[in-house]
């Protein structure tokens, strides 16, 4: 029977759709990755454009895959979303980011906010609030040092639900920012009701900001919107001096991007913030 099974497999194997097969393998690997501690968080500094001070870091997940090497989130987050594995993975990210931030504070680094990306599936979980509260309790991190990044398109899918959930999160004391802002068509009247502290201008508007008049118009509109609604505005994907100059001239509050630093490991963040040379 064993022989037959093997022949059988070989007979059918070439018939497998390669992409479906790859996806199946990815799902199986993802299921094991948490137990095997293959995920890691990199951190990218967020800088105050006026003072140059690093006031926050964004946690960005990486997967140190046993055979494929270090994988970017775009290679596995979509599959994690489809399979709901994003829920336990997202829990791990929350716990790890809070633990690390508390450890930095305990080690005497100036207190920073850690920003964590929340996916649609995670945001829709009934007990999201409990899960976030749990990560804070277990780590001992004060809620005000945790910020959740929620994309504009996620909010726009169901505004009432999003506002209700964001209100509960705000009651817990965590901060909320709107990620990829400018891509999701929020109406002004809706935006006014969102309990958020910050808008992140999507990097697609920052790329050509030094030359493209449309991008300049969008970016400066988002910046004045933020000023009028009393929200801080951060530009993401900032790489060049020209982009920084435009943002300064237009009174943007904060920036994040390769111009200051790529996302780096936790030990490298410590070196950066204590002025030691990095590897």
* Footprint of ligand C2E (CB under 6 A): 44, 60-61, 72-74, 77, 90, 93, 117, 119, 179-180, 203, 236-239, 257-258, 263
From the list Ca ion, ligand C2E, none, partner contacted by residue 258 (C-beta under 5 to 8 A by kind): ligand C2E
Question: Is residue 149 a contact point for Ca ion (CB under 5 A)?
Answer: yes
Residue closer to ligand C2E (CB basis): 3 or 179: 179
If one counts every other C-beta atom within 10 angstroms of the C-beta of residue 134, the result is 15
Give least dist CB 71 to Ca ion, A: 17
Q: Based on the shown chain and the rule CB under 5 A, indicate whether residue 117 belongs to the binding site for Ca ion.
A: yes
Residue nearest to ligand C2E (CB): 257
For residues 41 and 271, give the distance between their C-alpha atoms in angstroms, rounded to a whole number.
16
Q: Cβ 10 to ligand C2E, closest distance in Å?
A: 38
Q: Which residues, in sequence order, are CB contacts of 62 under 8 Å at separation 6+?
A: 39, 40, 41, 42, 70, 71, 72, 73
Compute how many other C-beta atoms are within 10 angstroms of the C-beta atom of residue 92: 17
Among ligand C2E, Ca ion, none, residue 29 binds (CB under 5-8 Å by kind): none
User: Which partner from the list Ca ion, ligand C2E, none does 93 bind, CB cut-off 5 to 8 Å by kind?
Assistant: ligand C2E
Distances (CA, A) of 160 to 76, 156, 165, 196, 214: 29, 9, 9, 14, 31
Q: H/E element holding 209?
A: none
Task: Report the interface residues with Ca ion, using CB under 5 A.
Answer: 117, 149, 179-180
């Amino acid at each position: 029977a064993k022989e037959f099974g093997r022949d059988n497999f070989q007979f059918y194997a070439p018939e497998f759709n390669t992409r479906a097969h790859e996806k199946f393998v990815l799902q199986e690997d993802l299921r094991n990755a948490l137990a095997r501690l293959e995920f890691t968080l990199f951190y990218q500094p967020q800088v105050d454009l006026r003072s140059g001070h690093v006031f926050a870091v964004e946690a960005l997940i990486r997967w140190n895959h046993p055979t494929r090497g270090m994988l970017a989130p775009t290679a596995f987050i979509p599959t994690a979303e489809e399979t709901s594995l994003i829920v336990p993975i997202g829990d791990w990210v929350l716990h790890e980011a809070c633990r690390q931030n508390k450890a930095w504070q305990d080690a005497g680094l100036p207190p920073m906010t850690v920003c964590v990306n929340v996916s649609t599936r995670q945001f829709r979980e009934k007990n999201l609030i409990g899960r976030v509260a749990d990560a804070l309790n277990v780590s001992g991190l004060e809620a005000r040092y945790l910020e959740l990044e929620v994309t504009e398109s996620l909010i726009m899918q169901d505004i009432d639900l999003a506002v209700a959930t964001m209100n509960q999160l705000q009651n817990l004391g965590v901060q909320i920012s709107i990620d990829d802002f400018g891509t999701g068509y929020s109406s002004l009247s809706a935006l006014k009701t969102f309990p958020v502290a910050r808008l992140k201008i999507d990097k697609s508007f920052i790329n050509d900001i030094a030359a493209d008049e449309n991008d300049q118009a969008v970016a400066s509109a988002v910046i004045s919107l933020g000023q009028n609604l009393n929200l801080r505005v951060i530009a993401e994907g900032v790489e060049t001096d020209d982009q920084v100059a435009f943002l300064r001239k237009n009174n943007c509050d904060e920036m994040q991007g390769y111009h200051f630093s790529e996302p780096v490991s936790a030990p490298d963040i410590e070196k950066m913030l204590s002025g030691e040379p990095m590897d």
